[in-house]
Amino acid sequence: MMQRLFFIASLLFSVCAKAELTIEITQGIASSIPISVVPFQTVSSQSSGDVLDDVIRNDLERSGHFSVLSPEDMLSHPHTEDDLYFRDWRLLKQEYVVMGVVTELATGQFQVRYQLFDVFNERELLTQTLTGTQQQIRDVAHRISDAIYEQLTGIRGAFSTKIAYVTTNPQRTRFNLSIADSDGAREKIILTSKYSIFSPSWAPDGKRIAYVMLEDAGSRVYLQDITTGKKELISANRGLNSAPAFSPDGNKLAVTLSKDGNPEIYVVDLNTRKWQRITNHYGIDTEPNWMPDGKHIIFTSGRSGNPQIYRKNLETGYIERLTFEGHYNARARLAQDGRFLVLVHQAKAGGDFHIASLDLTRGLLQILSSGTYLDESPSVSPNGVMVMYAAKHNKRSILAAVSVDGDVKFLVPSKSGDVREPAWGPYPN
């Protein structure tokens, strides 16, 4: 039934020779939309046009919602409306065509004007003009992908977002916290340590990132400014200092501490540094995540014997169990304004670990991941469409992604070493 693409998109272009991650699409949706992105015309000495439309084609293809025609299979490469013959594209069974022109400005910047056409109705749906520096070619391309995706699916695009993740050498003696484009390109290492780094958590403004570093004396929570690189210690209490999660307004951090003898969830106000205890139970309470309203926190608790997901109302103090199906449910993240939970799920004792979604209104649990092993650390794209997670594949730790509906799947293997702990960043401002 499912259309299998087995499409390997190498995203390592000349502008990002350092990028470590590549993407292999393993499953797209059956009803994907046929679209053609004609190679953009470049009116300048630079060849930025090629890179631009390559990035757009890869973005759309990776989303799983589109079936993108290869430029070699096109009958013509039009750049203006005068050269656009809709019958050619109908012959190729294309529903949409994108074309664009890149010009170099006197300032050294470039400008791109693109148009999106509906082949069947023979009309223009979208046209935009964007400018940027040579270093912003990919940013501009992702913005165009976002606009096309939103126009045709009705969902905001998340191609312009960043992901954070941790890479390790096979000996586990060196850990890097890195940030890259959501397609794995333009990787930048923001922290290198001999200590294990995990649970990166983005501030809603996308400018800071909190994480755990496991030092010899135990776990510590740090907050790092991404642009300045300044690293600030948030918590170094006796016992655990772990699982940081930003509140939706970015002013507070939920953290797991065991300073009072047992792992409990606390909230620290980052401005006043006042701490407030949220949970109080002899079972393990950890992995907090805020609801979008800022008034509820979901967390993992072992209070019923095995880990399950609970939700606490911060105003009333009411605690409610959310997961009942399965032996082990942990590290839940919210998708689509809190309508769905995405979590690590083990159906029965000794069974495999998968990423699953739980529809909170209907109570339906759906296993999303397949083909990977020991799935963990799910992170949801800000538009609530895709889940990136860590898994074992061919004895290596890799990142993989699956759509919240389970229809689209792709792998993001690292060229060397292991990749873990993905965290999908917020929309850029």
Partner 1 sequence: MQNMGWNKLFAVSLLSLAITGCASSGGTTDEAATTDSAMEESQTQAVPGSPGVDVVTEEQAAMAANPLLEQTVVYFGFDRSEIRPEFKDILNAHAAYLVANPQASVTLEGHCDERGTVEYNLALGERRADTVKRYLVVQGVNPSQLESVSFGEERPAMVGSDDSAWSKNRRTEINYQAR
Q: Which residues bind partner 1 (CB under 8 A)?
A: 172, 196, 198-199, 212, 214, 216-219, 239-240, 242-243, 256, 258, 263, 284, 286-287, 300, 302, 306-307, 328, 330-331, 344, 346, 349-350, 353, 373-374, 376-377, 392, 395, 420-421
Helix, strand counts (H, E) of the chain: 3, 32
Closest CA to 182 of 416, 392, 410: 410
Residue number with CB closer to partner 1 (40 or 246): 246
Smallest gap from residue 390 Cβ to partner 1 (A): 9
Nearest distance, CB of residue 211 and partner 1, angstroms: 12
Q: Quick one: 62 or 331, whose CB is closer to partner 1?
A: 331
Closer by beta carbon to partner 1, 406 or else 422 = 422
**Contact in structure between 286 and 244 (CB atoms under 8 Å):** no
The least CB distance from residue 244 to partner 1, in Å, is 10
Least Cβ distance, residue 353 to partner 1 (angstroms): 6
The Cα 144–Cα 97 span in angstroms is 13
Least distance to partner 1 from the beta carbon of 395, Å? 7
- The DSSP-derived string for 267-288 is EEETTT--EEE----SS-EEEE
Task: Give whichever of 148 and 391 is closer to partner 1, judged by the CB atom.
Answer: 391
Identify which of residues 120 and 373 has a Cβ nearer to partner 1 in the complex.
373
Query: What distance in Å separates the CA atoms of residue 59 and residue 62, rounded to the nearest whole number?
Result: 5
Q: How far is CA 111 from CA 114, 128, 132, 141, 425, in A?
A: 10, 10, 7, 11, 27
8 A C-beta contact, residue 319 and residue 312: yes
Q: Measuring CA to CA, which residue among 101, 81, 97 is closest to residue 89? A: 97
Token pair, residue 381, equals 């794209």
Q: How far is the CB of 31 from partner 1 (least distance, A)?
A: 34
User: In the numeric block, which tokens belong to residue 79?
Assistant: 């750049």
> Which of 62/333 has CB closer to partner 1?
333
Rounded to a whole number of angstroms, the minimum distance from the CB of residue 349 to partner 1 is 8
Dig out the tokens for 273 from the structure.
């540094």
Strand runs (DSSP E) across 258-368, as ranges? 264-269, 275-277, 285-290, 296-301, 308-313, 319-321, 328-335, 340-346, 353-359, 364-367
Other Cβ atoms closer than 10 A to 107: 9
Cβ proximity to partner 1: between 36 and 242 the closer is 242
Q: Which is nearer to partner 1, 104 or 376 (CB)?
A: 376
Q: In angstroms, how far apart are the furthest CA atoms of the chain?
A: 74
CB 413 within 8 A of CB 396: yes
Which lies closer to partner 1 via its Cβ, residue 187 or residue 418? 418
**CB 219 to partner 1: min, Å:** 6
* 183 versus 421: smaller Cβ distance to partner 1: 421
41 and 100 Cβ atoms separated by less than 8 Å? yes
CA-to-CA distance for 397 and 375, rounded, in angstroms? 10
DSSP summary character for residue 429: -
CB of 172 to partner 1, least distance (A): 8
**DSSP assignment string, 19-70:** --B-EEEEE--TTPEEEEEPPPEEESSS-HHHHHHHHHHHHHHHTSSEEEPP
* Residue 240 C-beta: closest distance to partner 1, Å: 6
